[in-house]
Amino acid sequence: MKGSRILALVLALIMVMTLVPAMAEDEPVKISVAGYMFGPIDNEKDVITPLIEQQLKEKHGINVDIEVVYIEQTNYAEIINTRLAPGKNNTAPDVFLAQSATALNTYYDQGVIKTWDEEFFKANAPHVYEFIMNGAAYGDLAPYVDQWKAASMVNGEMCVIPSFKPDGSMPYKTLIYRGDWLEKLGVTEENLPKTVDDFVALMTRFAKEDPDNNGQDDTYGMSVTAMKALFGAYGLGEEGLAGNGTGIFVERDGKLVSSDVADEAKQVIELLAKMYADGLIDPEFVAGKESVAGSYWAVSQGFVNGLYGVSANASIDHYRLKGITGPDDAGGRCANEYWLVNGEDSTFVYGPWPAGPNGDYGWVTGYAVAVSESAVYNINMSDEKLALIFQIMDAFATDDELYMTAFAGIEGEHYTKNEDGTISRLMTNEELNAVGVWGCRSLYGADRAFSQLAYDMAFYKDPSIANRLNWFKKDQYNSYLQDAVSVTLPSADLFSELNLLRDETWVAMIRGDKKLDEWDDYVQAWLEAGGQTLTDEANEWYQSQK
């Protein structure tokens, strides 16, 4: 037995060694990588990628020539898809983003990404594998290990290394109110609405009592993203109209039902229709004055410019107050936009989620596992190159100096260290990308390496995270709704057509173009368009977990 174990170990080592194509004395292996970037890299200014290559070679014996490929995020999927093709016509980078579980399944079905088994990954990235199996930096993600394994595979084959991070399951949004309107109406933070009735009452005051004090009837209570508050109050995590997202599945009497067709959804649409008829909702809520093309996505233009009084478009950190992360903290990006338009002394207030008839409130929180920013690997690369990429990932997980170079750059030039162990960046995100910072992020993980240092810097010791968590500990700020289905359903591609049907129907009902009496017809159409298939798949999976 002992001899057989030794032989097995020797054979495993030989296998790993034969898969290492680029030791220090060899020609460098070329690896192209297109990860998440805020702006293009400038080859003349790029000082980070050469440093990464040097450190990998001198400290880890890995000789590579890394090409960072910039693909604009707004057109990422479209551009990648044009480059993916069978055989020699495939010009996609070696490493690119999965983007979503649906896209991952599509790439797998098309045969354009690499697959491997768990032992292959474990052999070439042993420290990363151990880190994940142990529940990450502090073991608190142990309940998500099985979900991570499931997300990494399609048809039993690994094809992606999902992100594994505590912030994935952290609440991230709340209601943001205009402080000047609240002050005009005599509403203090302590008496912000905590029930649906009180919320509707405040929206009425925003629309009818001239909160901007200009003597004109030109204000509304809310627009599309604040509708989230009402869906949450009825136990539904329904992105729907607020982002064309897919609804969640909720448990009702032991079975799963989509929030797109749940009985409670009809109640919310009926309430929204009345609010719309009463003039409480921006009549252009579909075209929108929230996210506007050409501006930062989290900025609600209608909110910032005083068209309506509450928004849920952005997170608390987007509206971070000055000084939270340190003396030089100028505040969140949306906060700065708000101050620019309304004046440096203008205020905004984080508000609780109103509770519904059964005490439900909040918005959807995610899971600690996701594939959206995780990398997939071009089918045309050899197994040897894939092994090398995993070895690079393992190097980033074990070498803090290497990770800091890729994540932050050169100390004193691109960042400074703070006493609490965090860093302050000395350049904008776009400027940092230009010099190569974050260019290798898809080589070390999703948005961070699989190491305690990386997790501390990105989450556990980040003061902006602590600021959010302190708010999310408060009653009715602690959003808690989760999709009852934590996996990608086999027929998930049907959601796109169903989302269009839902949005068109709900908008028509809210505006009064369709009657609420037609709800049953909508539900039937939704089921026939693929909703029944997805509901059956959801329930089959749900029962298998018991």
What the block records as the tokens of 500 is 């269009």
Quick one: pLDDT at residue 419?
81
Task: Give the model confidence (pLDDT) of 58-101 as tens digits.
Answer: 999 999 999 999 999 888 999 999 998 766 778 999 999 999 88
Task: Give the model confidence (pLDDT) of 449-474 as tens digits.
Answer: 999 999 999 999 888 999 999 999 99
Mean pLDDT of the chain: 91
164 forms beta bridges with: 369
Using DSSP's 3-state secondary structure scheme, residue 109 falls into: helix
Distance CA 280, CA 277 (A): 8
Using DSSP's 3-state secondary structure scheme, residue 150 falls into: helix
331 Ramachandran zone, left/alpha/beta (phi>0; psi -120 to 50): left
CA 175 to chain centre: 18
Strand pairing report for 95-97 and 29-34: parallel
Task: Give the model confidence (pLDDT) of 363-418 as tens digits.
Answer: 888 899 999 889 999 999 999 999 999 999 999 999 999 999 999 999 999 999 88
Residues in the chain: 546
- Of the candidates 504, 503, 492, the residue with the CA atom closest to the CA atom of residue 530: 492
- Extended beta strands in 37-168, E state: 64-68, 95-97, 153-154, 157-158, 163-164
Task: Give the model confidence (pLDDT) of 220-254 as tens digits.
Answer: 999 999 999 999 999 998 776 765 678 899 999 99
Q: Who contacts 508 (Cβ-Cβ below 8 Å, separation ≥6)? A: 514
Global pTM value:
0.78
24 forms beta bridges with: none
Q: Who contacts 404 (Cβ-Cβ below 8 Å, separation ≥6)? A: 411, 453
Residue 1 has pLDDT above 50, yes or no: no
Quick one: pLDDT band at residue 2, thresholds 50, 70, 90?
A: very low
Q: Name which of 204-218, 285-299, 501-515 the model is least confident about.
A: 285-299
Q: What share of the chain is helix, strand, coil (3-state, %, to 5)?
A: 45, 10, 40
- Nearest-Å Rg of the Cα atoms of the chain is 25
- Of the candidates 492, 349, 445, 493, the residue with the CA atom closest to the CA atom of residue 95: 445
Residue 213 has pLDDT above 90, yes or no: yes
Full set of structural domains in the chain with CATH: 21-163+374-469 (3.40.190.10), 175-364+489-544 (3.40.190.10)
Angle at 273 (CA atoms; ends 272, 279), nearest 5 degrees:
90
